[in-house]
Amino acid sequence: MRCCVCLFQQSLQCSPSKMAAGESNSRSSCLNLSNSGPLGNAPPSNSAHSSPASNGGSMGASGGINRSAGNSNPQSGPENGGGAESAVRSTPSAQNPSRQPVGQSGATSGAASNMTAATSSSSSSSSASTADASAAVPSLPSSPASVLVYREPVYNWQATKSTVKERFLYSDEVQIGPETVMTTLYTAKKYAVPALEAHCVEFLKKNLRADNAFMLLTQARLFDEPQLASLCLENIDKNTADALAAEGFTDIDLDTLMAVLERDTLGVREVRLFVAAVRWADAEAQRQQLQPTPENKRRVLGKALSLIRFPLMTIEEFAAGPAQSGILTDREVVSLFLHFTVNPKPHVEFIDRPRCCLRGKECSITRFSQVESRWGYSGTSDRIRFSVNRRIFVVGFGLYGSIHGPTDYQVNIQIIHTDSNTVLGQNDTGFSCDGTASTFRVMFKEPVEILPSVNYIACATLKGPDSHYGTKGMRKVTHEAPATGTKTCFTFCYAAGNNNGTSVEDGQIPEVIFYT
């Protein structure tokens, strides 16, 4: 019959993975207790009352995780009169369970109890066996070589907390900050703590802004948080220009970039999307240790390049930027120029569907209070300068039609940034009028973003017969949303230069059609 100590040691050496692999118990033979343990502890006793903690060196060699269980208290060694029984009672697992790593002290104590119980059973079954065991296993000698060396236990931060409340997982009281939220979310996901995960996601929602929307979108996709990802995308839709300008935009991965570029709801000019994509490609080329040449930028963009809707740009925007970037092939450049200048327009490989960034209901304002006739055209553009008090998207103008009955007009409409003289939106189109004094809608290809307190010029160049025109114009016109009471205030000013006579008081372009 094997001694209980040997049986216990054998059970520690046989890990579940080894047992599952079908290894025989016979391969884990009794340890030679005459040698020092691998952790540097002195030779432990073979007495039936020896602590399992004294075999910590063997546990370390066989892959046991409770390393601190093998650390004995130097003050309770045999030279202090403790003996083998004293060593058992003085181990950290018996005196100070809180110093064990989380979830290990109980296992160590249980192992010691099981061993003691087995020893008692063996002793009661045969007094002769007890006598033989006592004779065969001498007590620990009182020598310097037998001093038990103290080893620092594995750090357990929960053991430093005096109350359960201080361990957050057990109190539902969470303190999360910007520096810790992502690591906490990772931990909550890894260890399946849904309440803590919900706290992290709620914190991120409350702190979502345009300048961190792309970063949070990347994390939301990584951690599979669809609700947070949806909120990030909505924020990017509403504040596309600010989100693209944020420092963290160039750090996103290609899949996240494509997820944004394929959206129909982005509120920004297409040329600005192209500029942002090139900026991202430059950073990505450096991450891949590539020279930021046009060829390498096209390479790292991959399929994302096809998601940029070049046909939605004006010919001026395309000529000044993408056409000269070297990222597009010569064939792509030629086909796009033909698309801009030839009718009927040839097919191009890029999406020409307008992005729809519009929300709520369509709104319009009228800047004249009376209609008169007549207003002539000789190729000169009618122009009026305006600004607004809040961000809107202009989708078109209302124009006056012919005073001579039903007529068709050809018209080019534009919105120009006053300070830079940049055309932000335009469309070559036409409209049919019925001869009445009503206004007729002429729409842009895509909504034009209008920022607050910035001066713009509304421009319309008509080809056709004399038309009606407006009089008694107003310098300020306010639109109030019926549902929310939100007020959008337009301020109109004279546009310097040749404007075909249109001014604040008289002329064309009576209506501005927009979304908030």
Digit-coded pLDDT (tens) for 254-297 = 999 999 999 988 878 888 999 999 999 999 999 999 999 999 99
Q: Is the pLDDT assigned to residue 36 strictly greater than 80?
A: no
Q: Sheet holding 456-463: strands in order across? A: 422-433, 407-417, 456-463, 382-388, 487-493, 476-480
The closest of 58, 47, 38, 115 to 87, measured between CA atoms, is: 47
Mean pLDDT of 151-168: 65
The closest of 364, 370, 347, 372 to 458, measured between CA atoms, is: 364
Calculate the alpha carbon distances from 482 to 360, 363, 394, 516 in Å: 11, 11, 19, 13
Res. 64 pLDDT band, cuts 50 70 90: very low
The enclosing H or E element of 254 equals helix 254-261
Structure confidence at residue 94 (pLDDT): 37
This prediction's pTM: 0.47
- The DSSP symbol for 96 reads -
Distance CA 53, CA 67 (A): 9
Helix, strand or coil for residue 226?
A: helix
